């Protein structure tokens, strides 16, 4: 049997079993198990641990403990995964308890203008909860994502989003459909905090130029849609908060200047949020791997 196929089959079976067991167990027991598992993974996943420690040390120096913060990063990711699996139950039974929303008026005002909204988010908190939570309260949402290597896993994620009437566009699909969506007053959500192969520009992030996707910011300028930063935050009691910020203001004389100014503002807002609690973000990601 092909080794790659065998590996993918085992990962798929593991995830199906994980989803089944998390949905079967009480949430608090699932969270406790996730925290325990994160401690084991911190030891076993040497490369991810080393990248996490290196990035935290590079950004924060001695102002925090990279080891304690890194362990909390792993724990948060594990607990956020539990809440992502439990989206159906938590959001349909008690959405306000699962995720509070701060700054909702910014989103409502932008939606009322009828020119569409581009929600600019990041890998903080249970970010998978953002789109279904906003779809629940009347925001016609579509999200964009990269195709996962295993189509079976891809289908699980897409079907979960569709159950909340959240549309999905795969990165690389026809951009004209997205333009029509926005010009019809729709909403589009996209993660903007990773170094990817998508159209990008270098913008400072924690003082170092970081390759940041630029397409959503250019699209906001082209369509007149409101570019709204929004981030999920995991609270100490296990709930989530969605924090919506005012629309980014394009500044500068040229189109390039305006795009760069919005991207810089987005990175600065995200940076300030992470500084308040560094464990909210995924520090194992090689954010600065690409160089100018």
Mean of pLDDT values over 203-211: 97
Kindly state whether residue 59 falls inside one of the protein's structural domains: yes
Kindly state whether residue 10 falls inside one of the protein's structural domains: yes
Q: Which residue has the higher pLDDT, 131 or 10?
A: 131
Indicate whether 115 pLDDT > 80: yes
The C-alpha atoms of residue 50 and residue 52 are separated, in whole angstroms, by 5
pLDDT at res. 116: 97
The C-alpha atoms of residue 127 and residue 191 are separated, in whole angstroms, by 9
Give the orientation angle of helix 66-85 with respect to helix 46-60, to 10 degrees: 120
Q: pLDDT-based confidence at 176, cuts 50/70/90?
A: confident
**Tokens found for residue 171:** 């990165």
User: Which H or E run includes 60?
Assistant: helix 46-60
CB 196, CB 213: distance < 8 Å: yes
CB 256, CB 146: distance < 8 Å: no
For the segment 26-43, what is each residue's pLDDT rounded down to a tens digit? 999 999 999 999 999 999
Kindly state whether residue 291 falls inside one of the protein's structural domains: no
Mean of pLDDT values over 104-113: 98
CB 183, CB 208: distance < 8 Å: no
pLDDT at res. 149: 66
Q: pLDDT-based confidence at 165, cuts 50/70/90?
A: confident
Mean of pLDDT values over 9-20: 80
**Per-residue DSSP letter, 194:** S
How many other C-beta atoms are found inside a 10 Å radius of the C-beta of residue 172? 11
Q: pLDDT-based confidence at 256, cuts 50/70/90?
A: very high
Mean of pLDDT values over 110-123: 97
Look up the domain containing 241 and give its range: 3-280
Indicate whether 7 pLDDT > 70: no
Kindly state whether residue 287 falls inside one of the protein's structural domains: no
Q: Which of 9, 7, 30 is nearest to 84 (CA)?
A: 30
Q: 């304690």: which residue's tokens? A: 68
Kindly state whether residue 289 falls inside one of the protein's structural domains: no
Kindly state whether residue 185 falls inside one of the protein's structural domains: yes
Q: Considering its fold, how many domains does the chain have in total?
A: 1
pLDDT at res. 232: 98
Q: How many helices (H) and strands (E) does the chain have?
A: 12, 9
Dihedrals phi, psi of 188, to nearest 5 degrees:
-130, 125
**Per-residue DSSP letter, 125:** S
Indicate whether 114 pLDDT > 70: yes
Indicate whether 182 pLDDT > 60: yes
Kindly state whether residue 285 falls inside one of the protein's structural domains: no
CB 111, CB 139: distance < 8 Å: yes
How many other C-beta atoms are found inside a 10 Å radius of the C-beta of residue 74? 26
| Dihedral (CA of 215, 217, 222, 223) sign | positive
pLDDT at res. 1: 53
Kindly state whether residue 288 falls inside one of the protein's structural domains: no
- CA distances to 54, 119, 210, 291 from 195, rounded to whole Å, are 17, 18, 7, 11
Helix (H, G, I), strand (E, B) or coil at 40: helix
Measured CA angle at 59 (ends 197, 260), to 5 deg: 45
């Amino acid at each position: 049997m092909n080794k790659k196929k065998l590996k993918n089959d085992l990962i798929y079976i593991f995830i199906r079993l994980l989803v089944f067991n998390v949905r079967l167990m009480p949430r608090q027991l699932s969270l406790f198990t996730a925290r325990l598992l994160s401690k084991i993974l911190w030891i076993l996943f040497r490369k991810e641990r080393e990248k996490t420690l290196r990035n935290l040390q590079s950004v924060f120096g001695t102002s925090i403990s990279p080891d304690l913060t890194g362990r909390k990063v792993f724990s948060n990711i594990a607990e956020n995964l539990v809440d992502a699996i439990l989206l159906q139950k938590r959001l349909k039974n008690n959405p306000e308890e699962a995720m509070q929303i701060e700054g909702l008026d910014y989103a409502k005002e932008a939606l009322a203008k009828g020119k569409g909204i581009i929600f600019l988010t990041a890998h903080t908190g249970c970010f998978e909860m953002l789109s279904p939570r906003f779809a629940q309260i009347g925001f016609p949402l579509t999200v964009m994502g990269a195709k996962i290597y295993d189509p079976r896993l891809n289908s699980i994620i897409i079907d979960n989003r569709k159950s909340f009437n959240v549309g999905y566009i795969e990165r690389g699909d026809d951009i004209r459909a997205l333009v029509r969506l926005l010009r019809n007053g729709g909403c589009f959500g996209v993660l903007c905090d990773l170094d990817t192969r998508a159209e990008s520009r270098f913008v400072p992030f924690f003082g170092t130029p970081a390759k940041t996707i630029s397409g959503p910011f250019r699209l906001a300028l082209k369509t007149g849609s409101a570019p709204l930063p929004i981030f999920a935050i995991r609270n100490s009691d296990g709930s989530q908060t969605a924090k919506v910020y005012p629309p980014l203001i394009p500044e500068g004389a040229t189109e390039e200047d305006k795009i760069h100014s919005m991207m810089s503002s987005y990175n600065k807002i995200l940076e300030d949020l992470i500084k308040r609690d560094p464990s909210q973000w995924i520090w194992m990601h090689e954010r600065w791997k690409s160089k100018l």
